[in-house]
Chain A
Amino acid sequence: METMFGIAVDGVAYGMILFIISVGLSVTLGLMRVVNLAHGAFAMVGGYVASYAAQSAGLPYGVALVVAVALTVLATLPLERLLYRRIYGSANELAQVLLTIGLTFVIVAGINYLFGPTLKRIPLPELLTGTVELGPKAIPTHRAFVIGAGAATLLGLWWLLERTDFGIRLRAAVDDPAMAAALGIRTERLYLATFALGTGLAALGGVLGAELLPLEPYYAIRYIVLFLAVVAVGGAGSIFGSAAAALALGIVDTAGKYLIPNFGEFFFYAALILILFRWPHGFFKGRTA
């Protein structure tokens, strides 16, 4: 049926955005054991930089995207060294929650100061407007692009973790930090690199998802619950878990909004509680990919 297909496409696209943004959160949680509530703020910053670059500086979409990711990563690296490093580890949970909420608030206020409270758009290039034929059905090109990007991210991350040195070291450090250190793996650099990766992906998701998750200053607070849900359901540190959870939650949320618009949110949170009740460690308990 038309509606079902529409819901499926929107749900999958939405899920892909959630995945791209949340996977960084999942990996940093799995590796550094830090709950980063400012992760949504990073995604938001990426989106805003791209919006500014595209609209005010007139840069083409692709360039704006790259600039957004690069600048966001550069801006957050000092935060890792100065702030985050002090609160790694599951014993510091409360400190993490407070520090990252504080950081979120500062970023939200800053964004409002710089760009004002109105919604910001990132103008899509000609290429991404319109629809793409998929047999008898047509999908908006942008949605198809997002879905493709999500799949590419998943594959890219899988390749990174399974086939590169960095990936092996990352998995080792997640599995057994003490052993990894004993083997000479430079955990500090690993943490920095992982943090950068997570933030970069968040920024990417923020840019790509600007149509689905509109950019306004409260973005960081509004959507962090979603990203946390993906990580909790998928299991911290698990790439495939994040993907599965993001898609599941994306589809459930979209379906809820279309089919039972009055109780959409209700449905989502109830589903979340039931899932986490049954699987408190997430679908994939794994701490590796």
Chain B
Amino acid sequence: MTVLLEVEGLAKNFGGLQVASDISMTLKAGDRCALIGPNGAGKTTFVNLVTGVIPPSAGTIRLDGRDVTKLPSAERVRLGLIRSFQVARLFKSMTVREHLELAVLQRDRRTFRLFANVAKVAGLADEVAELLGTMGLTHVAHTAVGSLAYGQQRLLEIALALAMKPKVLILDEPAAGVPHSESQRILDAIDRLPKDLAVLMIEHDMDLVFRFARTIVVLAQGRLLCSGTAKEIVADPRVREVYLGSRTNAH
């Protein structure tokens, strides 16, 4: 199985504050991995480091064999490293359809065509229609995102990520903030993600974690605590301690 993401010795300190130390992990094609840890463990920081939003103090990141540690964010996106945001971040004035059109055009580097008509770009309509169908968003294709229900916005985010043909997809709490009535759709969408895609999901909801993940990585205080299958993690006393505190702590 191809190794798609390889992180080695990733570390970051802000001034004197060490927010990430010596984190190493690999993701292979088809992996479904959940990243968990208590609040403040550094999960979002880790994702920001991997995606290039902040530069690391040490360590390397390889995407499909290529060293991307020094590459800017947008470049990593073009190479197939895609993330979704914890709080939906979309273009409120654009329709659902326009979001997907833009993502596909950007991916294929066809955005500097000043005189083409978006409606007539070869293959675009078909691909967008397919994405809309997969996510169950066809009926709202022409609705401006500002008017969409939050759950639909999260679905669009996933659709957007897929439109970019990711190799590695990082989902940051994909169901957060979504009312229970709508979250099923999102879970189904995650189930149906392409099989050869490597997916890393940050989550707090343990039900979702157990349903989705084949491997789990636990982060605490910026360090990798342990990793393994769901069974192994649940049984590991260190994990319980980090979440619940040990009995000897005086509180």
Q: State if A and B touch, Cβ cutoff 8 Å.
A: no
